[in-house]
Amino acid sequence: MKDVFDFDPRLLKAAAEAEAAAAAQFREIDMISQHGSAKVLAAFQAEHVSAACFAGANGYGYDDVGRDKLDKVWARVFHTEDALVRHQFVSGTHALSTALFGVLRTGDKIVSVTGAPYDTLEEVIGIRGKGNGSLADYGITYGQVDLNADGRPDLPAIAAGVSGAKVVYLQRSRGYSLRPALSVADIAEIVKTVRGVNPDAVIMVDNCYGEFVDYDEPTDAGADLIIGSLIKNPGGGIAQTGGYIAGKAALVEQCAYRLTCVGMGKEVGCSLNMCREMYLGLFFAPEVVANARKTGVFAASLLGSLGFECLPKASEKAGDIITVLKLRSPGAMEAFCGGIQAGSPVDSYVTPEAWDMPGYESKVIMAAGTFTGGASIELSADGPMREPYAVYLQGGLTYGSGKLGILTAAQHMLDRGLLSF
């Protein structure tokens, strides 16, 4: 590595120590990845995945073998009755919106029990905006149970807040917040609490960024529906677009009715030539998620050793692939994100600049040099330019390249006098 990149020897020494300190965490990540690979491989075998599954289908997509079998493979991996895995989902938000509109009816209530949902869902639910076709416009009411002061689920408040709810909604990932991601054990506790007071509620989990991070998934903890994006974890960096919904068969069917048409549902929607990449992506996903996690752990170990607060800490259990690095100044955010960009395989020659992103109060800086536009399973870093000047780091298709990206970012900070050894 030294022959190729010109990193400061002090940085390389700190990096070697940071990596050594993370050895136990890396072993745990490898074990989780091995378990995920086993689930995926067994599902491929049980469903007799064959070359015929990779051949594209066009037109209406009746009897689209590749599409139908991928749903079954997905359902096996996530231990659900059924799944809807489609490149026709344009993003994670679209899949989540489809699930919400699929399941909820006028007069129903949805209660989010992990505080405010991800930004893009506020308009879908109708927390922001009026008259644009949100759930609120269709007479679906919204309630929210906030997290505790320490960012953990407030079980007594959840028990008090979910009676009468048709959908109880959880977000597994921290998203763009400082609260920790939920572990699958946390989700199991929430499920138990909800069932105790409202056994009929549909428990829906935004699983974005969470897939394959733990041995189990929210559906193993009793969730009825999980939803995610294929340009994040379960697409393995290979799927070019898409999303999924998995869970109880009757609910998945309602979602399919919403995605296509009532009555047609899963029977239509041709897979075109997307199947091979979706299968291959799922096949890679456990290992790619492990690489992303290791990249985050390495960053937390290195920057933690240099005095920066990181969430989660390198030694802590994670519930998603995000690592928050509190860099404490706008200059450090610019240097770090500039380094992540410079350390990317694509667009390494451009410099990210903080900009006024619609919907945000402060300027936002974003670094990503990805093969797939916006794919945050690939190494990327972003954050709003305000206290505590925290960068949200995620992704890393391979650990080798992820580590180099972090080293480039740290070198950029060092070059600007922002690191001390």
Ligand X SMILES: *Cc1c(COP(=O)(O)O)cnc(C)c1O
Residue 304 or 312: the one with the smaller Cβ distance to ligand X is 312
- Using the contact rule CB under 6 A, the part of the chain among 32-40, 91-99, 142-150, 217-225 near ligand X is 91-99
Q: How far is the CB of 353 from ligand X (least distance, A)?
A: 21
Q: Alpha helices of 22-80 — where are they, by DSSP H?
A: 23-46, 65-77
Q: Which residue is it, tokens 């390389």?
A: 12
- Using the contact rule CB under 6 A, the part of the chain among 50-58, 66-74, 169-177, 266-274 near ligand X is 169-177
208 binds ligand X (CB under 6 A): yes
Distance in angstroms (rounded) separating the CA atoms of residues 194 and 186: 12
Residue 118 or 257: the one with the smaller Cβ distance to ligand X is 118
* Residue 358 phi, psi (nearest 5): -55, 135
Residue 161 amino acid letter: G
209 binds ligand X (CB under 6 A): yes
173 binds ligand X (CB under 6 A): yes
- Using the contact rule CB under 6 A, the part of the chain among 89-97, 196-204, 282-290, 335-343 near ligand X is 89-97
Nearest to 258 by CA among 242, 245, 277, 248: 245
Distance in angstroms (rounded) separating the CA atoms of residues 167 and 190: 13
Nearest to 172 by CA among 311, 320, 391: 320
Total residues in contact with ligand X, by rule CB under 6 A: 12
**Helix, strand, coil tally for the chain in percent (to 5):** 45, 15, 45
Q: How far is the CB of 170 from ligand X (least distance, A)?
A: 10
**How many CB atoms are closer than 10 A to CB 115?**
17
Q: How far is the CB of 374 from ligand X (least distance, A)?
A: 7
Nearest to 290 by CA among 211, 222, 362: 211
372 binds ligand X (CB under 6 A): no
- Using the contact rule CB under 6 A, the part of the chain among 23-31, 62-70, 86-94, 353-361 near ligand X is 86-94
98 binds ligand X (CB under 6 A): no
Residue from 88, 229, 233, 301 binding ligand X (CB under 6 A): 229
Q: Which residues are registered as beta bridge partners of 167?
A: 110, 202
What is the secondary structure of 175-230 as a DSSP string?
-SSSSPPPPHHHHHHHHHHHHHH-TT-EEEEE-TTTTTSSSS-GGGGT-SEEEEET
120 binds ligand X (CB under 6 A): yes
- DSSP secondary structure code for residue 146 in this structure: P
Q: How far is the CB of 87 from ligand X (least distance, A)?
A: 13
Q: How far is the CB of 177 from ligand X (least distance, A)?
A: 9
Residue 18 or 213: the one with the smaller Cβ distance to ligand X is 213
Q: How far is the CB of 324 from ligand X (least distance, A)?
A: 13
360 binds ligand X (CB under 6 A): no
Residues forming contacts to ligand X in the complex (CB under 6 A) are 91-93, 118, 120, 171, 173, 175, 206, 208-209, 229
